[in-house]
Structure 1
Amino acid sequence: MNTAIDPAMSNEVARFPRLVLFDLDGTLLDSAPDMLETVNRMRAARGQGPMPLSELRPHVSHGSRAMSAAAFPELGGEVSPEMIQEFLGIYEQELGNSSGLFDGVPELLEAIEADGARWGIITNKPEYLARQIIPQLGWETRCAILLGGDTLPHRKPHPLPLLHAAEALGASIDDCVYVGDDQRDINAASAAGMRSVVALWGYRGGEEQPGAWGGNALAATVDELLEQRFWQALR
């Protein structure tokens, strides 16, 4: 374990876990505006009016199928593979056009790096799409690992991506924390034996109860993750 001390902390232990893994959409990146443009182009092609962001936002973390189902409720949840491919094709065109980082994310990642720790991304987004986002954000040399939903044989809530990331980076599970805004994120961390943080600023339906997901901590804002006492309480 890297026990390098931040000089600004004067003889205290490292501020952050040695490896902080994040979900992408709804945790680091507010991609809902890009998703909205995608479904509204699909709706326009079918002669339907635009969908408001407030109606799509709770479905973003659940993926293309859930968003397509929300955009076309008349389908009763029966979304065809062709519609999913249509969604992904349009989304690739919209990628990064309207999205942006959540407030506090740049400062958080800089603080993790300044502490001598590393950070990475584990998302259920297809890897080819996730890899197009990283250069837009200037993260090519900063993100220690990026795993998409199709990188490995299993995706979240299966623990494999989290276990693979820790092993690939030579980090023990005890030195890792996973931060995500969806129950699948927390379930994956629990199954991997990894500590987890529920990102309450993300995409969540009103009926969901994140306090019951079993995360080790809940954070209302990104700024909370900049507080040393937050991580001390998590140890």
Structure 2
Amino acid sequence: MKKIILFDLDGTLIDSTEAILESFYHSLNTHKEVTDVSDSMITSQIGHTLETMFLGLGVREERVAEHVATYKLYYREIACQKTLMLPNAIEAIEEASEFARLGIVTTKTGVYSRELMEYFGIMKYFEVLIGFEDVTHKKPHPEPILTALEKMKSNTQNVWMIGDTRLDLECSHHAGIDAIGVLSGYDNFEQLSTFDFIIQRDVLEAVRTIAKERIK
């Protein structure tokens, strides 16, 4: 039985920080409701849903939906040009595909995420991509991982999640699978150490660690 590796996107495989920040500022400037927002206020929330992030920036609940809609329209226009694959990410995907079945589990919109993966020529490596619209409950709830495994017709044995935030690790914990935290993204070592999982420098190190693990 082959292993399964599920990857987060932002901070794990891709760096879309510039596109995210620009899209947030575009929405905030368009609706002129909240001022005095800093880059760190936005990036510290990456991994959460857009709704949660806008609420965290002080947008009133009744205005969140229009902020999200404005963000998404703008983000889709700039995402491909202002997103980068993280160092070693493509190599990690290629190596992982030699011994494991692969999937993506992200809180980003699935449609846009697929467009990004096609743009970089790597969607062909993944059997599934679970995005925001594919689940009712987002990370850290286990539903995104369990939905991916259901589509892959797999149980939770020999399954790994690789992600850069506590949300990824907590989601893995609740789903009952192994996980590796990577330091290429938005949470630091101390934050990821909240969970009793392996922590590696980047996704390539994580993939190579999984490759050495015996199938259970």
Output the TM-score relative to the length of structure 2: 0.83
Alignment of 1:191 onto 2:174: yes
**More deviation in 120-129 or 151-160?**
151-160
1:160 alignment counterpart = 143
2:96 alignment counterpart = 112
The 2-side partners of 1:228 and 1:180 are apart by 14
Distance 1:163 1:42, change over 3 A: closer
Contact kept in structure 1, 2:182 and 2:206, CA below 8 Å: no
The 2-side partners of 1:225 and 1:160 are apart by 23
Q: Deviations over 1:4-41 (max 9, x none)?
A: xxxxxxxxxxxxxx110011112111111111221232
Structure number with bigger Rg: 1
The 1-side partners of 2:137 and 2:74 are apart by 25
Aligned residue identity for 1:33: E
Q: What are the residue-to-residue correspondences of 1:1-235 with 2, within 5 Å?
A: 1-2=1-2, 18-45=3-30, 46=32, 53-68=39-54, 75=59, 80-115=64-99, 117-204=100-187, 209-212=191-194, 214-228=195-209, 231-232=212-213
Q: Please, which runs of 5 or more residues in structure 1 have no aligned partner?
A: 3-17
Describe the SS at the equivalent of 1:60: coil
RMSD (Å), alpha carbons? 3.1
Aligned residue identity for 2:98: A
Q: Deviations over 1:191-221 (max 9, x none)?
A: 1110111122211379x72201x24211122
Q: Deviations over 1:99-156 (max 9, x none)?
A: 11111101101111223x1211011112222222221121232211111122133322
Q: Please, which runs of 5 or more residues in structure 2 have no aligned partner?
A: none
